[in-house]
Amino acid sequence: MAFQQRVFSGVQPTGNLHLGNYLGAIQRFVALQDSYDCLYCVVDMHAITVWQDPAELKKQIREVTAAFIAAGIDPAKHIVFNQSQVSGHAELAWVFNCVARLGWLNRMTQFKEKAGKDRENASVGLYAYPNLMAADILLYRATHVPVGEDQKQHLELARDIAQKFNNDFGPSMTALGLEGTFFPQPEPLIGGPAARVMSLRDGSKKMSKSDPSDLSRINLTDDADTVASKIRKAKTDPEPLPSEAEGLKGRPEAENLVGIYAALADISKEKVLAEFGGGQFSTFKAALVDLSVAKLGPVGSEMKRLVSEPSHIDAILRDGAARARVIADETMRQVKDIVGFVR
């Protein structure tokens, strides 16, 4: 079956949207708008897999929506919405809870990292998170999913779930006259120089919203002075920058800053090193500050302007959810028939 080319991706409203979310995901969402029909979702149901203060959660949902729009996503041409307004996500996730195997989920490294040592106390939702993510994507039968590298394993699981559903229910689909495969194999779109942006304080850890040190990340709402100070304080090593990308091996902090520059300037790491190789970090950092402020400053100020008008954001989310529901309801109608539920 030929599936309509469609992009789906989501961002959790868990606070402190950072440069990693921007370069690994949001900036790439913007670029895909010209070639695909896109759905960009504020995944609030994923957010509550760890405790969220209800009043803060509302603010954060609006903040992620504002970031999408400030970065250049057009909610009139594409669909921007929050997950909890479309009940199909929860319904399909339940079906997938019954398709995915415990052994598959036991292999998910993100659960192990997030649950940490206190595994017994982690929510069931955190454990089942990848099944909900598979439902998010497959509810729209999306064919392409732009994500950062940290989500690669979850995408592979979504592909396994799609395949098992198609196999398990193959005879039921045939009986219903549905030809071929029902769910596509969604393709991850991972790549570019900033698929995994690392912490500014430790090149072995990914830049993350939940890192207790604010110096580890550049938040999209940081002002120019804060961005400059965080980049100046970013950990480096004593060697000058190499002139070839090969020379970045074993130098994670240098590689991270060069990757950030390359992604912001939309050039390759080689090109960055052709310009700055052999020089000191101080010169390179000054150029990185200028570039970061020039690129992120307008996004941050537009985000602040948009969040000051919550009713406008809520209207965008309601409109997006209504349009998402049209696709989702049709998928769920067919899924219910395939599974054997009476409607």
Residues of the shown chain interacting with ligand AQP in the complex, contacts defined by CB under 6 A = 11-12, 14, 20-21, 24-25, 147-148, 150-151, 195-197, 206-210
Q: Which residue's structure tokens are 């970061």?
A: 292
CB 56 within 8 A of CB 296: no
Alpha carbons 129 and 118: distance in angstroms, whole number: 17
51 burial via Cβ count (<10 Å: 0-12, 13-18, 19+): exposed
Amino acid identity, residue 312? H
Cβ proximity to ligand AQP, 182 vs 222, nearer residue: 222
CB of residue 11 vs ligand AQP: minimum separation in angstroms? 4
Minimum CB distance to ligand AQP, residue 343 (Å): 33
CB of 171 to ligand AQP, least distance (A): 36
Please say whether the beta carbons of 126 and 49 come within 8 A. Answer: yes
Q: How many helices (H) and strands (E) does the chain have?
A: 15, 5
- Residue among 42 and 335 whose Cβ is closer to ligand AQP: 42
Query: What residues pair up with 196 in beta bridges, in sequence order?
Result: none
Minimum distance between the CB of residue 337 and ligand AQP, rounded to whole angstroms? 32
The tokens for 267 are 């050039």
β-strand partners of 81:
41
Question: Whose Cβ is closer to ligand AQP: residue 209's or residue 235's?
Answer: 209
Q: How far apart are CA 248 and CA 282, in angstroms?
A: 17
Residue closer to ligand AQP (CB basis): 208 or 292: 208
Q: Which residue is nearest to ligand AQP (CB)?
A: 24
DSSP state of 94: H
Least distance (Å) from ligand AQP to the CB of residue 258?
Answer: 15
206 included as an active-site residue: yes
78: β partners: none
Would you say 67 or 228 has its CB closer to ligand AQP? 67
For the bound state, the minimum distance from the C-beta of residue 74 to ligand AQP, rounded and expressed in Å, comes to 19
From 58, 152, 209, 336, active-site residue:
209
Of 111, 120, 132, 268, whose CA–CA distance to 193 is shortest?
268
Short-list 127, 49, 124, CA closest to 84: 49
CB half-sphere exposure, 115, CA atoms < 13 A: 18
Please, are residues 45 and 75 in contact by the beta-carbon 8 Å criterion? no
Instruction: Select 49 or 331, whichever has its Cβ closest to ligand AQP.
Output: 49
Question: What is the closest distance, in whole angstroms, from the C-beta atom of residue 207 to ligand AQP in the complex?
Answer: 4
Instruction: Give the tokens for residue 334.
Output: 């067919």
What is the DSSP annotation of 233-275?
Answer: HS---SSPPPSSGGGGTT-HHHHHHHHHHHHHHTS-HHHHHHH
Catalytic site residue from 114, 164, 235, 304 = 114
* Residue 186: CB atoms within 10 Å: 23
Comparing CB distances to ligand AQP, the nearer of 121 and 282 is 121
Active-site amino acid positions: 114, 206, 209
